[in-house]
C-alpha cells in the first residue's frame, strides 16, 4: 500500500488540482467551472490509478495463500465458505477504498479552494458510491482470477489484462461495433454515435462508472437513463460476487 500511495496521490488530488485550474481549457474549448464537473474529469484518476491499485492489491488474494498452504487451514475452519468469500471481497475492497475515499475528500477540498465553491453533499455521495462500486468490481474480478490460477504470475497477468481491456481496449471494441453498425465513428455531434457509445458503456465497468457520475451532470446526455445505469451497477456487483462465492464453495486447496 505504501508503494501505491504516491500513485494514488498523483492521480486523485493531483488531477483534481489540475482540472480545477481556473485557466484550464480542455479539448473542444471546454472549461469546467462546476465542482461536480471537475470531479467527473478527475475521476480519470480513479479509472487509471485506483482500479490498477485495486488489481495489484487483490491479484494474490487467493493464489498466494493457496500456494503456501495457509488457504487449506482457512478452508478447514468452521466459518462457512460463503462468509469467507464475502470477508475476502470486502477486506480487499476496503483496503483500496479507504485511502481512495480519503484522497477523494481531499480532492473535494482542493476543488473548493481552487473554484471557491463546495460540491454538494449529494454530488460527493454519488461520487464516493460510484468510486466504491468500480473498485469493488475490479477487486472481485481480480479475486476470481486469483482463485482460478495456481501461480501468482498468471493471476496478475489476468488482473492487468482485464484492467487493460476495460480501460484501453473498450474504445476499440466500441469503434468496431460502430463500424459494423454503419455508425460514424467518434463524431461527437452524431446522436447515433453518442447513443451507441452510451449503450456499449453499460457493458463495461468503467462505462457504468461514468454513467453513474453523469447522473449528476445534466449537461451530459447520452440517452441512458439513470435507472439503467444503476441497474447495470447492481448487475456488475451481484454477478461477479456470486461467481466468486460459488467458486469459493467448490475451491480445493
The correct pick among 7, 24, 75, 157 for binding other proteins (CB under 8 A) is: 75
Spatial distance between the Cα atoms of 59 and 142, rounded to a whole number of angstroms? 5
**How many whole angstroms separate alpha carbon 27 and alpha carbon 77?**
56
Is 149 a residue that touches other proteins (CB under 8 A)? no
User: Angle formed by the axes of helices 205-214 and 35-42, to 10°?
Assistant: 170
User: For other proteins, which is the closer residue by CB, 152 or 228?
Assistant: 152
CB of 79 to other proteins, least distance (A): 4
Rounded CA-CA distance 224/69 in Å is 47
Binds other proteins (CB under 8 A): choice among 22, 27, 28, 78: 78
Phi then psi for 30, rounded to 5 degrees? -80, 140
Choose between 36 and 96: whose C-beta lies nearer to other proteins.
96
Which among 31-39, 45-53, 76-84, 207-215 is the span making contact with other proteins, rule CB under 8 A? 76-84
Q: Which of residues 6, 80, 161, 223 is near other proteins by CB under 8 A? A: 80
Residue nearer to other proteins on the CB measure, 31 or 82: 82
Residue 76 is a binding residue for other proteins (CB under 8 A): yes
Give the one residue of 161, 223, 225, 253 binding other proteins; rule: CB under 8 A. 253
Site for other proteins contains 153 (CB under 8 A): no
Task: Work out whether 79 is an interface residue with other proteins (CB under 8 A).
Answer: yes
- Residue closer to other proteins by CB (options 10, 87) is 87
- Residue 69 binds other proteins, judged by CB under 8 A: yes
What is the 8-class DSSP label of residue 185?
T
Angle CA(199)–CA(205)–CA(209) in degrees, nearest 5? Answer: 80
Query: Is residue 86 part of the contact set for other proteins (CB under 8 A)?
Result: no
Query: Exactly one of 10, 70, 102, 238 binds other proteins (CB under 8 A); which one?
Result: 70
Please pick, from the candidates 48, 74, 128, 243, the single residue that binds other proteins as defined by CB under 8 A.
Answer: 74
The answer to whether 5 contacts other proteins (rule: CB under 8 A) is no
Cβ-contact 144, 243 below 8 angstroms: yes
Between CA 45 and CA 230 the distance in angstroms is 22
Tell me if residue 186 falls in helix, strand or coil: coil
- Residue 120 makes CB contacts below 8 A (sequence gap 6+) with 35, 36
Phi-psi region of 251 (alpha: psi -120 to 50; beta: other; left: phi over 0): beta
Query: Interface with other proteins includes 73 (CB under 8 A)?
Result: yes
Q: How many residues bind other proteins (CB under 8 A)?
A: 17
Q: Report residue 203 as a C-alpha cell.
A: 457493458
Of 99 and 205, the one with the shorter C-beta distance to other proteins is 99
- Residue 122 CA from chain centroid, whole number: 20
Question: Contact positions toward other proteins, by CB under 8 A?
Answer: 64, 67-70, 72-80, 84, 252-253
Amino acid at each position: 500500500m505504501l508503494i501505491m500511495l504516491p500513485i494514488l496521490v498523483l492521480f486523485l488530488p493531483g488531477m483534481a488540482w489540475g482540472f480545477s485550474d481556473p485557466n484550464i481549457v480542455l479539448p473542444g474549448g471546454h472549461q469546467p467551472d462546476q465542482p461536480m464537473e471537475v470531479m467527473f474529469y478527475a475521476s480519470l484518476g480513479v479509472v487509471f490509478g485506483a482500479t490498477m491499485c485495486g488489481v495489484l492489491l487483490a491479484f494474490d488474494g487467493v493464489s498466494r495463500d493457496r500456494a503456501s498452504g495457509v488457504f487449506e487451514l482457512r478452508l478447514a475452519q468452521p466459518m462457512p465458505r460463503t462468509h469467507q468469500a464475502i470477508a475476502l471481497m470486502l477486506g480487499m475492497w476496503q483496503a483500496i477504498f479507504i485511502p481512495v475515499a480519503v484522497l477523494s475528500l481531499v480532492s473535494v477540498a482542493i476543488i473548493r479552494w481552487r473554484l471557491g465553491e463546495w460540491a454538494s453533499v449529494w454530488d460527493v455521495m454519488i461520487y464516493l458510491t460510484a468510486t466504491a462500486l468500480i473498485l469493488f468490481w475490479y477487486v472481485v474480478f481480480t479475486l476470481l482470477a486469483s482463485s482460478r490460477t495456481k501461480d501468482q504470475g498468471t493471476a496478475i497477468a489476468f488482473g492487468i489484462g482485464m484492467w487493460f481491456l476495460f480501460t484501453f481496449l473498450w474504445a476499440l471494441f466500441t469503434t468496431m461495433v460502430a463500424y459494423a453498425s454503419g455508425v460514424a465513428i467518434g463524431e461527437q455531434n452524431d446522436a447515433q454515435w453518442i447513443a451507441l457509445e452510451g449503450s456499449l458503456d453499460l457493458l463495461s465497468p468503467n462505462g457504468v462508472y461514468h454513467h453513474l457520475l453523469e447522473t449528476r451532470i445534466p449537461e451530459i446526455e447520452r440517452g441512458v437513463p439513470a435507472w439503467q445505469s444503476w441497474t447495470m451497477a447492481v448487475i456488475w456487483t451481484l454477478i461477479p460476487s456470486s461467481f466468486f462465492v460459488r467458486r469459493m464453495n467448490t475451491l480445493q486447496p
